[in-house]
Structure 1
Amino acid sequence: MAAGLGVMRLFIIFVLGCLCRRLHCVQLDDWPDQADIQEKQQLERLLQRIRLERHFETIVVYGRAPCVFHELLPHLELPTVLLSNGSSLADWRFNSESTLLLCCGLTAEQEHNPRTLLQLQQARRLVQLEAKIRPQWLCALYFAREQHNVAMLDARGNLYSCRLYRQPNYVQLASSSYNSSSDSNSNSGSIYVQQYGNVQGAVIVSEPDQLVPRSMLYRDPSTGQLEMAGFVCNLMKTFVRRVNATLKLRPGIELGKTTYYGTMERRVQQNELDVAGTLASTLTSDNMDYLSYPFVSSSYCFMIPVPARLPYKKIYTMIVEPLVVGVLLLLFLIFSLLLIYSQELSWRRLSLSRVLLNDRCLRGLLGQPFPWPLAASRHLKAICLLLCFASLMTTTMYECYLQSFFTQPPAESMLRSYADFRASPYRIAVERREANRMLKSYNLTTDHSRNAFVLDDWHEFVHLRDTFNASFIYPVTHLRWKSYSEQQKLFKQPVFYYSEDVCLHRFLLMCLPVRRHWPYRRLFEQHTLSMWEFGVMQFWIRRAFSDMVNLNMTKLVDYSSSEPNEEAVYVRDLSWIFYFYATAHLLACLCFAVELCWGRYF
């Protein structure tokens, strides 16, 4: 019995010893490592330093755990997006200015969503540097993606930052302590710097569409090199000088050949150009990622031939207004009734023929003499006096109209609607691709395109419009019309006018096509706003026509009609008078025949 109790006691002691050892082991394992705590604190200070340089409100973590960034997230208390697969499915509306990307390794970030990739192109990145990866390799990889705000953190606590235009392409900012602001290769202690203050001659590829006056291409006589001009090209040239870049034209460009702006957009989308020297509309572009910030606003209306002067023979019909003729006929009837009544102060001699064929009243209103009655009463004299004043006013009015219109004939009516376009002898000249965009973008039907003159070549259409061919109506932006208006000041008389009554669009935002992931996009947009703010762009637009003349991009030719104005009135101009004269004589003969027949048989 005693032996059994002894064995039992030994077993209990053994079990308690194992449990105590197990509890002791758990406490040792769960006890935090002092080195890990220090590393987390240093990483927190690093993120605080980044936040002080430029504030961020959102954190995006690429990569799976275990990662040093995942352990730190509960202490940051910031909105966080975890992308363990390295890419997002939705179009996240991240703001690159207020977003920090934490990448758990070289291959952690594999963003395939194009919209999110564009939004986060300029975002700041902090990458966990793996042991076998060198900083210059990782910087070169991100530079190839055109992502330049990159910093790296290795396992030893060393902090590196990528520098695009330096050799080597990175700098070591801190070693073993994230609070250090020393830079072993640079005097700057900033983690993320502006990479494009001086790009040291980096190439920017562009091409002007050669649509004057916004973009023009010419050969410099002193150097023999192709140069660009125009207010759009001037914007690009000043930006290139501002960032110390090199402007390169697309190979194979043809001098003097106007290129359709849709073709320029396609070349930008295919990464053949960084920025195109043309203007595209936000209404006709399918993808806004390839457009810059709105450059300028304009309207898109029609330039219509100035109405021709009325021929002299139509002046007679023009001055005879139906309302005025009705008033004159009413005066004739009133004076005729008064003359009949005033002769005997009674209605005994009143008849329809005496009212309609009153010779005295007719000749009085026409300003001709008529026989005066021998014994005229006061009533008759008063009526005749009123008749003389009415005839004086009528003849004076029509004589003034005739003299004024014969001196300067009035113009025909202006076109103020699409219905007027269809009724006019003019057709709308338009390039085929532009016609398709009009029908699609402006909800026009085929009824509006029946009177269209469609050309297959954009250069031919521009040449037809630049020569002021008055047989057609042309769509044109108000920016282009300004130069046309200046050019017409040199003409003897204007050929076209800008119609604001019939417009394809009264407010149009115009942008420059830029490559989707062009890293200079933000600086370029800031440069554009600066040019507008300081009035430089307004100056370029005002002097656009002068640049065209100086570069011989326009001919100082009078495209107005060379036919002299007829200063004499010919017999053909009196045709309507002769027709009226013949008609009146026929009516008089008919009345005379009726009177003869009436007197013979009655």
Structure 2
Amino acid sequence: MRQLLTFSFLLPVLVGSWSLSLPELVQQIHRQQKLDYLLIVGDSARAQPSFWLELRLPFIVLNNISNVNYELETLHSSNLMSIVFVESPAESLLEFVALNLGLWSTAPLLLILQKELQVDAIFQWCWQHKQLLNAIAIYDNFEATGLLYSYSPFPIFQLDERRIDNSTNPILLPRLKDLQGYRLPTLVGGSPPRLIVYRRSDNELFYGGFVGHLMHCFEVKYNCRLEQLLPMNESTLVPAQQLRVQFALAAIYTEKPSNNYTYPFELLNWCLMMPVPGLVPHSELYSRVLGFHTFLIILSALILTSFLLSVGLRRHGYRVQPDEFLLHDNCLRGALGQSFKEVLRAPIFVRGIYLQICVLGFLLTAWYNSYFSAYITSGPREKPFSSFDNILKSHFKIVIWNPEYQQLIRYSEKMQRYEAIFNIEPDFERFLKRRDSFDTQFGYMMPHEKWNIIEQQQQVFTSPLFTFREDLCAFRGIPVAFPIAPNSVFREPLERLIGEVTATGLMAHWRDMAFSEMITAGKLSLADLSESNEFRAMHLMDLHHILIAGALMMTLAFIVFLLEQLHFYCKTKLGHHLPLV
């Protein structure tokens, strides 16, 4: 009995030695959290000037004016702790604090309560209305009791009561490191290859792709379970900001304000996937071998050689026709690789010109035949489109899904002038069917991520059907992120995970795995959809230009023949010479 009485007398003394004063509590939190400054709110704080001096930290005292936002986050650091002297009624004061904290919902919040206030009800309000996760509370008799109250919403809401002393570390428990199996409502959305959903052999639903693997990593790292509020539908677009979820694992293009999105995990280039230009028609190969400028140079060389040959023959007494000064028959035959007649015992100058004609003919025929053979075996292709203006003039169509077209116009106003080149498809399933059919009659708007899958798929083709035109991009470097509630407490864990998977190369690895996962999910086939490259015999249309040229020459020869006959008739019948027209 004497020992029990002695312990009862010592208990208040021990409690008094263990407990902390309020400034000491703040200093201990500062040592653990490395605070930059304090935010003090409440009318009771003004009556304690000695308390302010003992804090030994920079502080800001806010006047409690309802619905007034001092916009601290625009000019001040987020590494702060708020100290709120709560009086009844508490809701209006907490509303004011939450309004000024804004996005700093995970910043430490120390509530100093009066005895008549229920800490459980206040914590319930903090979590359900404003998600002030790191809120702790003490009563105004804290120095006597040393009791500190906090709460944890994971996996269910529960109140914690602890006695604080100089050795307590940490005072603020890291709630977000382990969610203890918490069922977190979210929304998962997207299309391959970013999100690949299929059922395994055991009938279990599997989420693949970058989004699916990130979802699994989030569950494992933070010990929680992500639950979808809505069944996933690739063709349904739901505004993420209208959903009552903390965040949505559905990658979208960011807009203002930026605090509605996570940190961007990808910079997207949205360009055209265009058909590989077709082969030049065989009928045009003859003219494409010899360019117009090259033809003029060769013709000039033949005229110059003909003139020199005619002058040399005339100087040595040979008869030369006037038209041979312009184009000598020997020069034309030699240039075409045919035999020609030489004069007997030709002088050295004329023999040199004959040698020049032979060399020129050899070079021209060898050069033309080699180029022509190369064009026949591996024909050149048509010139690709070089700009959106060229596409507009050609009446070629670009297939695009209607919501993506609206997004395109929103990000790039200049594309409105090219509205005529787009074939807008309202149905998502039909759009995918047209794109995956590799129909070369159309082009397609394509983000670079999806092009990587198509590029790998075309590796099994005999020849590729499409090419990615990075010079024909509607826009570049568009940030892609996940929508998230502005004051969500899960922003930091999610952004930290995105940074870790990016830095470790997991994101690149998941993107490389998307091709094989799409094959496993049955969303991709390895059939060769390219045209077979078989031997074909020469067709009549292959000689189209040659036949036209031959017909023109025959027509010209026939006209000359008629003129000669007319000249001969007039000369014999009329007895006088009529000049040729």
TM-score, length basis structure 2: 0.86
Secondary structure of 2:21 counterpart: helix
Q: 2:460 aligns to what SS in structure 1?
A: coil
**Once superposed, what is the RMSD of the aligned Cα atoms?**
2.9
Please identify, of 353-362 and 160-169, the stretch whose mean Cα deviation from structure 2 is larger: 160-169
Q: Deviations over 1:115-154 (max 9, x none)?
A: x554221111011112222322222221212211011121
Match of 2:6 in 1: none
Kindly indicate whether the alpha-carbon contact (under 8 Å) linking 2:197 and 2:521 is maintained by their aligned counterparts in 1.
no
Alignment of 1:180-329 (within 5 A): 180-181=166-167, 189-222=169-202, 224-253=203-232, 257-259=233-235, 263-264=237-238, 266=239, 268-282=240-254, 285-329=255-299
Match of 2:324 in 1: 354
Residue 132 of structure 2: aligned partner: 147
Residue 542 of structure 2, aligned match among 565, 568, 573? 573
Structure 2 CA distance for partners of 1:130 and 1:354, relative to 1, 3 Å: same
The farther-off stretch of 120-129 and 434-443 is 434-443
Matched, 1:163 2:152: yes
Deviation at 1:338, TM superposition (A): 0.6
| Paired residues of 1:127 and 1:150 also in contact (CA < 8 A) | yes
Match of 1:9 in 2: none
In structure 1, the partner of 2:103 is 119
Name the counterpart of 1:4.
none
CA distance in 1, matches of 2:48, 2:250: 46
CA distance in 1, matches of 2:507, 2:415: 38
Distance across 2 between alignment mates of 1:112 and 1:571: 86
Question: CA 1:370–1:251 in structure 2 vs 1: closer, same or farther (change >3 Å)?
Answer: same
Contact persistence 2:40–2:59 (CA under 8 A): no
Cα deviation, 1:489-518, whole Å, max 9, x if unaligned, reads 122221111111111223232212223333
User: 1: CA distance between counterparts of 2:282 and 2:371?
Assistant: 12
- 1:102 corresponding residue in structure 2: 83
1:585 aligns with 2:550: no
Tell me the percent identity.
22
Aligned mates of 1:216, 1:398 — CA distance in 2 = 54
| Number of the residue aligned with 1:134 | 118
SS in 2 for 1:583: helix
Q: Which moved more, 1:480-489 or 1:452-461?
A: 452-461
Aligned with residue 557 of structure 1, among 493, 512, 527:
527
The alignment partner of 2:374 has SS state of helix
Q: Is the 8 A contact 2:105 2:488 kept in 1?
A: no
**What is the one-letter code of the residue matched to 1:104?**
F
Q: Aligned equivalents of 1:279 and 1:365: distance in 2? A: 67
Q: Measure, in 2, the Cα distance between the counterparts of 1:397 and 1:272.
A: 73
Contact in 1 for aligned 2:155/2:180 (Cα 8 Å): no
| Conserved 8 A contact 2:151-2:157 | no
Summarize deviations over 1:208-257 as a string: whole Å, max 9, x none.
434111102223441x343311112101111111111112123343xxx4
| Matched ranges for 1:367-446 at <5 A | 367-446=337-416
1:517-553 C-alpha deviation (Å, 9 max, x unpaired): 3322101111111112222222111111011111212
SS at match of 1:410: coil
Identify the structure with bigger relative contact order (alpha carbons < 8 Å, sequence gap 6+).
2
Deviation of 1:344 after TM superposition, in Å, equals 2.3
Q: CA deviation at 1:592?
A: 5.2
AA aligned opposite 2:181: G
Q: What per-residue deviation string (whole Å, max 9, x for no partner) do you get for residues 256-296 of structure 1? A: x4236xx24x1x212344433332223xx233222111112
User: Is contact 2:127–2:133 with CA below 8 Å preserved after alignment?
Assistant: yes
1:209 maps to a residue whose letter is G
Name the stretch that deviates more: 348-357 or 486-495: 348-357
Gaps spanning 5+ residues in structure 2: where?
1-16, 572-576
- CA 168–536 in structure 1, closer or farther in 2 if over 3 Å, else same: closer
1:44 to 19, 23, 31: 23
C-alpha change, 1:330 and 1:591, in structure 2 (3 Å) is farther
Amino acid at match of 1:63: G
- Report deviation, 1:334: 0.4
Query: Structure 2: which amino acid aligns with 1:125?
Result: L
CA distance in 2, matches of 1:504, 1:142: 46
- Residues 112, 137 of structure 2: 8 Å contact kept: yes
User: 1:338-363 CA deviation, whole Å, 9 max, x = no partner?
Assistant: 11101022899888633334222222
Contact 1:209 1:278 in 2 (8 A): yes
**1:482 counterpart letter in structure 2:** N
Query: Kindly tell me: are residues 129 and 44 of structure 1, through their superposed partners in 2, closer, same or farther at Cα, counting changes over 3 Å?
Result: same
Measured at CA, do residues 474 and 198 of structure 1 come closer, stay the same or move farther in structure 2, by a change above 3 Å?
A: same
Aligned-partner Cα distance in 2 for 1:531–1:324:
58
Task: Tell me the distance in 2 between the aligned counterparts of 1:485 and 1:373.
Answer: 65
Comparing 351-360 with 400-409, greater Cα deviation is found at: 351-360
Q: CA separation in 1, counterparts of 2:461 and 2:61?
A: 66
**Structure 1 residues 535, 77: closer, same or farther in 2, change over 3 A?**
closer
Aligned pair in 2 of structure 1 residues 276, 395: CA closer, same or farther (>3 Å)? same
Provide structure 1 residue ranges, at least 5 long, that are not aligned to the other structure: 1-37, 183-188
Alignment counterpart, residue 455 of structure 1, candidates 410, 425, 428? 425
2:381 is matched by which residue type in structure 1? A
Deviation at 1:97, TM superposition (A): 4.5
Letter in 2 for 1:571: L
Q: Quote the Cα distance in structure 1 between the aligned partners of 2:318 and 2:83.
A: 114
Indicate the SS of the match to 2:478. Answer: strand
- What is the distance in 2 between the residues matched to 1:315 and 1:527? 58
* Higher mean C-alpha deviation, range 141-150 or range 509-518: 509-518
Tell me the secondary structure at the aligned position of residue 49 of structure 1. Answer: helix
Q: Distance in 1 between matches of 2:181 and 2:424?
A: 44
CA offsets per residue over residues 314-334 of structure 1, 9 Å max, x none?
A: 211221211111111101110
Counterpart residue type for residue 587 of structure 1: L
SS at match of 1:370: coil
CA distance in 2, matches of 1:64, 1:85: 11
Distance of 1:350 and 1:193 partners within structure 2: 111
**Counterpart Cα distance in 1 of 2:190 and 2:104:** 34
Once residues 69 and 122 of structure 1 are traced to their aligned partners in structure 2, the CA distance between those partners, rounded to angstroms, is 27
Alignment CA distance shift 1:406-1:50 (3 Å): same
State the TM-score, normalizing by the size of structure 1.
0.83
Count, aligned residues? 543
2-side partners of 1:355 and 1:586: how far apart? Answer: 25
Change (3 A) 1:500 1:343: same
Residues in 2 aligned to 1:117 and 1:348: alpha-carbon distance in whole angstroms: 108
Q: CA deviation at 1:81?
A: 4.5
Query: Which residue is equivalent to 1:172?
Result: 161
